[in-house]
Amino acid sequence: MNPLRRLPDAAEPAKEGSLSAAPSLFSAIRLGDLTLPNRIVMSSMSRDKCPRGVPTELNAVYYAQRASAGLVVTESTAVSARGVGWPMTPGIFTDAQVEGWRAVTEAVHAAGGTIFCQLWHCGRNSHPLTQPGGLLPVGPSAVLPPGTIRTSEGRKPLLVPHELTKDELPGIVAEYRAGARNARRAGFDGVQVHAGNGFLLDQFLRDSANHRMDAYGGTAENRCRLLMEVVAAVCEEWGPQRIGVRLSPTNPTIYRLRDTDPATLLVTALEMLNELQIAYVDIVEGSTTDEPATAELDYPTLRRRFRGRYVANNGFKDLATAERALRTHADLISFGRLFIANPDLPKRLRTGAPLNPLRRELIYSPDHRGYTDYPCLDESEAQTQLEEKA
């Protein structure tokens, strides 16, 4: 298998759920070797509620409340102590963390859900106060990132990272492999490799952060190399049909990451991922910040370069915008903040019930407020909404 081989200009999506079929958001779909009851994905969203990086019963309640999504993806979960970006985020590199996540997966499964663990390494977006032994964070190149990061002593400016040597990169791959193995121990149904939103693998992908002159820098193929090595290792632990990858080619993020040619970068990544036969890609379409996207891409056309399932992510506010994307290019739709305020989001979208407003000031509250206390519809309310919609 040569991961650098170019594919034909258009790779057709799988027949089931094809674009011409105009599927409903509530129709079942095959994702790898799983069958999901609907095409709604709960997006990964960091909530910073894991003391010492260990999930608790509160996290189990939160995820189980949202198990009616076709697929739940966890918040970003560090694959190693060096991969942690800021306090109170979960990991998957200790036995205590595995046990904490096992309580979460058991709760989601008991509620009838499917849950993937998002494997994460913050790379340069960290601080010595968070790193073991006070070490510098790591990155593809010794380039100072803009902005600040949360630490145990408040927000601190980001620093010039330690530039990973070529000899250190197999250790990064090994950390992802171990995280994938631990996710299986914890009872997850699969894993998503986080290669977007400004974190380590995204830092390697985009040329504003990657100034390397070796086999991991320069061309788009070289900048994708570490991602492909990570995904190949994770596939060996799980099999490709239980693997997804998140990409965000035009999202500047709060770290102002960008690439001079994001369309070529995305096509290159998609075609190389085709060779690994993973189940899906999760594409953050545009910007998740107040800053505009770094480029406008033709996602319906670019989607055709990938043979697996395509999850469209970012900016979906209602049923209409979601089903429009299903008609044009997506197989599944990922919802973020709507799921924070609406644990029963699939039911609300299906019945046309009003959506709970998001209490922004409580997104990162230190307790259950704004986390597990949003109300769900009862059955009588749901039936009334269906009748009124009819």
Domain 19-335 bears CATH identifier 3.20.20.70: yes
b or e along 82-107 (b: 16 or more beta carbons within 10 Å of the residue's beta carbon)? Answer: bbbbbebbbbbbeeebbebbbbbbeb
Summarize pLDDT for 140-181 with one digit per residue, the tens. 999 999 999 999 999 999 999 999 999 999 999 999 999 999
Q: What H or E segment, with its residue span, contains residue 313?
A: strand 309-313
pLDDT of residue 20: 45
Q: Is the per-residue pLDDT at 14 higher than 60?
A: no
Residue 256 region by backbone torsions, left for phi larger than 0, else alpha for psi between -120 and 50, else beta: left
Question: Which of 326, 250, 344 shows the shortest CA–CA distance to 289?
Answer: 250
Q: pLDDT for 177-208, tens place per residue?
A: 999 999 999 999 999 999 999 999 999 999 99
Strand, helix or coil for residue 243: strand
Q: Could you count the other beta carbons within 10 Å of the beta carbon of residue 317?
A: 11
Kind of pairing, strands 34-36 and 29-31? Answer: antiparallel
Residue for token pair 């043979």: 307
Name 339's Cβ contacts closer than 8 Å, sequence gap at least 6. Answer: 42, 43, 45, 66, 69, 345
- Record the pTM: 0.93
What local confidence, expressed as pLDDT, does residue 346 receive? Answer: 98
